[in-house]
Chains A and B, each alone.
Chain A
Amino acid sequence: MGDPVVLIANWLDGLLVGWGLADGWVTLIKTILGGVGISIFVLVIDIFLVWLERKFVARFQDRLGPNRLGPFGLIQPIADVIKLLIKENITPAGADKYIYNLAPIIALATVISLWAVIPLSPTMFGTDVNVGVLYIVAIGGISTLGILMAGWSSNNKYALLGAFRTVAQLVSYEIPMVISLLVPVILAKSMGINTIVSEQSIWFIFLAPVAALIFLISSHAELGRAPFDLAEAESEIVAGFHIEYTGMKFGMFYAGELLHALTVGALFSSFFLGGWQGPGAEAFPILGIVYFFIKAFAMYWVVAWLKYSLPRIRIDQMLNFNWKFLTPLSLVVLLLTATLDRLLINTSTWIYAGSMFFTNILLLIVLFQIMKRSGRRERKRVAEPKPIARPDGVRSVPTP
């Protein structure tokens, strides 16, 4: 009824079978067209995201953003793409040619392949493979490899240093992200993302707000965006692992990062905000897409908000935060959710939801106290007067 994809699929079926093709070939052709369709769809949205990102950053910084080309500056991204396409490709001397060219391809291809398992509506998804969550983690791991390849092949020690730090950061933050993903899996009793979305009679953000928060923070760090953007710290190591990339190759890293940000928004909305769910979504799948994109773009706005409001943190602060705070916290949340789920196994939905929610709030309050105390301790330690050297060789502590 309101489902264009099923209509097109049925029409194609009729057409291809009418041409006398065997069943297997028909499935193959439909799948190929589906893959190409979703890739093009995602890339078109990516181009729109370039404009959206610049408008967001402009508004956060109290200015207008691109408004010269086309109505509201909408043609700006197309001009950017054309500019990048006609730039000269300067390959640095001594660079490993194959790896150097492979890295941006991997960076963009992995983000596009993430969209194969994200359900846009009850019937519109690439495939509902039963290990969807782990597939997402696996593709994330491959994109990390792409960054390492980019840094190494540039034959530039700053690129290599930037790549190492970025990979250390990405790899560290993957742990709390995946552990916090175990919570929706327990609550929905399945790893398939479409199943997780359809099981959300109550949105999981109300059942597990702390897990949602951990997922948001760690995926934000996985994106490599501020406040975790050591990789692109322009004043420190001048653009990190993609220093030596010019033109469209750099464009692909940039586009891949923006698309990844939207993908994180889409994933968060699928896991915790109920994905395509909304009034009337089951009957008219096209409404499902609308709800899905509203939620995905709302989360993208939250991610942009975090990026443009927070200062950068140092790498040792970042890694401490991960291993000493987020990882133990995510393990605690996992155990808490598992225990509560078992204890409240046969109670009514309201008691279940209410007690999970309040336990999480309690956990947040306890955490807040711990953070306050440790923040006070840290501030006292930093505010101690440090010894300075004097010209006559006597070290003294300045009187405050």
Chain B
Amino acid sequence: MLNDWLFIGLIVLIAPVFPILALLIPRIIAPKKPHPLKNQTYECGIETVGDSWIQFKVQYYNFALIFLIFDVEIVFLFPWAVAYNQLPLFALVEGILFILILAAGLVYTWRKGVLEWH
């Protein structure tokens, strides 16, 4: 099985080589004329006002959190799905129970209004 992963390991190392090459070529042939006006951050053509930070909106965090919970659930479901064919009927009931408990969690967040975006 390790041989399967050899290809993946190598392609993870080889794949960035091409973008890196694509980045190095402009470094050689592109003009380099830095100018303070060119380096200013873009704000629709006007001068920047205030520091570069944004207001804390808890919605961003909430959605990442719900995603995390469902992500873990899905990872649990994959071995169940792969072995599904060879499992007795009881396994289906267990799977339904697992999914229903997490669906209850989703319904809770829905009713609490966490899924709204303001």
Contact = CB atoms under 8 A, between A and B. Distances in A.
A133 B74 CA distance: 12
Contact of B1 (A34, A107, A130, A342): A130
A334 B99 contact: yes
Contacts of B10: 31-32, 35
Contacts of A315: 117
Interface in A316-339: 316, 319-320, 323-324, 327-328, 331, 334-335, 338-339
A324 B110 contact: yes
Given A27-B6, A109-B16, A342-B92, A323 B110 contact: yes
Interface in B77-91: 77-78, 81-82, 84-85, 89
A84 B19 CA distance: 13
Given A156-B43, A161-B54, A316-B116, A182 B81 contact: yes
Contact of B74 (A86, A156, A171, A178): A178
Contacts of B77: 182, 334
A160 B52 contact: yes
Q: Which of B7, B78, B96 has the most CB of A within 10 A?
A: B7
Nearest to B84: A186
B6 A31 contact: yes
A227 to B, nearest CB: 16
B116 to A, nearest CB: 7
A109 B78 contact: no
Contacts of A40: 18
A191 to B, nearest CB: 6
A341 B110 CA distance: 30
Interface in B1-22: 1, 3-8, 10-12, 14-20, 22
Contact of A126 (B7, B16, B33): B7
A290 interface: no
B108 interface: no
B81 A34 contact: no
Contacts of B38: 90
A157 interface: yes
Interface of B: 1, 3-8, 10-12, 14-20, 22-23, 25-27, 29-34, 36, 38-44, 50, 52-54, 59-60, 63-64, 66-67, 70-71, 74-75, 77-78, 81-82, 84-85, 89, 92, 95-96, 99, 103, 106, 110, 115-118
21 contacts: A31-B6, A39-B15, A85-B22, A86-B26, A108-B15, A112-B15, A127-B5, A164-B54, A167-B60, A190-B82, A247-B26, A248-B26, A251-B22, A252-B19, A252-B22, A316-B117, A320-B116, A323-B106, A323-B110, A338-B92, A339-B92
